[in-house]
Structure 1
Amino acid sequence: MKILVVMTAKATLHLLDGELHPSGFWAEEFVVPYQIFREHGYDVDVATVGGASPTVDRTSIDPEFLQWVRPQGSENRDAENAAEYVRVVDDAAQLKQPLRIEALTEASLADYDGLYISGGHGAIGDLPKSDELAQLLRWWLASEKPLATVCHGHTSMLALRDGEGHWPFEGYRMTAFSHSEELVTNMAGRLPLILEVELTRLGARYEKAELIWDSHVVVDRNLTTGQNPYSSRALAETFIKQLAA
């Protein structure tokens, strides 16, 4: 049993004011699903654009920062979680030599039971711009196997079109990082795109948690989506159930 994890390889994000903002993948969105997948007996491969080793967003392993990306009143395990994220990121061999998305074929995808797209603001910089990733997703959708994505991993879906120019996820219920959450980041008003706006424009039936930063997961057909970093555990556990079904 195998799961392919697609991740951003961008270490910076080009903002609208010209700043190259330090970025990368969000640790919780990789570490928590990665551990859950392995606990359930799945082998995990990682793939990036160009096969570049992904860079962890430093704020996602800063215990002082993590309090701002979980719902108010939730349990404070920030120091413990940050230490665990660092340990797993350092130990995961898949992050040091990821597969090249460009080298994956429809035949090679047949080896995988599930496809999970991890997030982080860095994803805005490379995932929606990769023609090869778009083709990989077309092949995956044709296979009708389970697909999961969290937070900004959804940017990988933005450029996807079918043979008639339609967005394949039009009409799907889904969640993703919300506009409300973007507005409280230090990049508010400077991001190249707002994911909630883009998904809604393309025809998604967008929904989100009532409380900012709270966990929210949506399943529609073969697609499982998570709203934010705090959704990573529920997303992975739901995805495992989808794979078993």
Structure 2
Amino acid sequence: MLDFVLPKEVAMLKILIIVTNTGKYASGKLETGLWLSELTHIYHAAKEEGYEITIASPNGGNVHVDPESLKRFTLDKISKEYWNDPFFRGLLKHSRNLERVSTQEFDLVYLAGGHGTMYDFPGDSVMQNLIQNQYESGKIVAAICHGVGGLLNVRLSGGEYLIKNKVLTGFNWFEESLAGRKKEVPFNLEAALKNRGAKYKKAMIPMTSKVVVDGNLITGQNPFSSKKMAKVVMSELSKRQHK
């Protein structure tokens, strides 16, 4: 019997969403974690397309959600629906261990944000190797808000930083001030990106949507970019799928 192979245009795409395990700032004064909408919008968009979704974190297991992202003025309709969904909440309690899925192939690797990522993303060698392989294979790497910090220490095969000379965005220092977290965060993300040689761009108005595409690297500035980020990423995946 001949094996049946799905045509390329209908093959199920596989996406990996990486989230933080960190639940508190180093000071111990405030809780942090994943910013919920930066997961829910990409998750919803991928689910609508029928894509295979894996949610993983550096340590696996429970994913802390920043309580600020659950407040009435930040919890949008889609995020509220998923937060009230027992199945989705179960996924956050039992995220996959990143190392255990790192040898799999994905069409998209997506770094969700939240201040927690500033602690466990930048120094994760498993994540760095995964992103390097993903990027150099020509597949999409995407990151939003503080999740962009996971790109800081990724080097390409030639030794240069991935983000050197790349046009990108991420949560900026003035927005950190507006969020009241300048004294809590371990570093200035905007400055760190620039120090790596990135061509940093930001929205003219703070806390508004900004998404930047540079080849197979896609970045979003802040939580308010979550919806547009999901649309742009899905569009780029679709273009590649139908080539």
Paired with 1:19 and 1:54, the residues of 2 have a C-alpha distance of 17
- Alignment match, 2:144: 150
1:148-205 residue CA offsets vs partner (Å, 9 max, x unmatched) = 1100111111121234532122111111011110011222233211111110110111
Paired with 1:165 and 1:113, the residues of 2 have a C-alpha distance of 24
Question: Contact (CA 8 Å) 2:40, 2:79: kept in 1 or not?
Answer: no
Tell me, yes or no, if structure 1 residue 42 matches structure 2 residue 42.
no
Gaps in structure 1 of 5+ consecutive residues: 67-77
- Alignment match, 1:70: none
Question: Contact (CA 8 Å) 2:16, 2:56: kept in 1 or not?
Answer: yes
* SS class of match (1:147): strand
Residue from 37, 62, 74 that aligns with 1:28: 37
Paired with 1:114 and 1:80, the residues of 2 have a C-alpha distance of 25
- Alignment match, 1:101: 98
Question: Contact (CA 8 Å) 1:175, 1:227: kept in 2 or not?
Answer: yes
Paired with 2:156 and 2:224, the residues of 1 have a C-alpha distance of 32
Question: Contact (CA 8 Å) 1:219, 1:225: kept in 2 or not?
Answer: yes
Q: Which has the higher contact order (CA 8 A, sep 6+)?
A: 1
Residue from 65, 84, 89 that aligns with 1:87: 84
Paired with 2:51 and 2:91, the residues of 1 have a C-alpha distance of 14
Of 217-226 and 156-165, deviating more is 156-165
Question: Contact (CA 8 Å) 1:45, 1:94: kept in 2 or not?
Answer: no
- Alignment match, 1:72: none
Residues 129-140 of structure 1: matches in 2 within 5 Å? 129-140=123-134
1:105 deviates by 3.8
Aligned length: 226
With over 3 angstroms needed to count, the CA separation of the structure-2 counterparts of 1:171 and 1:121, relative to structure 1, is same
Paired with 1:212 and 1:119, the residues of 2 have a C-alpha distance of 17
1:50-105 residue CA offsets vs partner (Å, 9 max, x unmatched) = 112211111101115x2xxxxxxxxxxx57566335224x4314323222112234
Residues 150-229 of structure 1: matches in 2 within 5 Å? 150-229=144-223
Calculate the aligned-residue CA RMSD, in Å.
1.7
Question: Which has the larger helix fraction?
Answer: 1
* SS class of match (2:92): helix
- Alignment match, 1:241: 235
With over 3 angstroms needed to count, the CA separation of the structure-2 counterparts of 1:173 and 1:154, relative to structure 1, is same
1:137 deviates by 1.2
Question: Contact (CA 8 Å) 1:61, 1:85: kept in 2 or not?
Answer: no
- Give the ranges of 4+ consecutive aligned residues of structure 1 lying more than 6 Å apart after TM superposition: none
Residue from 96, 108, 111 that aligns with 1:114: 108
1:203-234 residue CA offsets vs partner (Å, 9 max, x unmatched) = 11111111111101000000111000010111
Paired with 2:185 and 2:227, the residues of 1 have a C-alpha distance of 26
Paired with 1:229 and 1:37, the residues of 2 have a C-alpha distance of 18
1:26-68 residue CA offsets vs partner (Å, 9 max, x unmatched) = 011111111111112212110101112211111101115x2xx
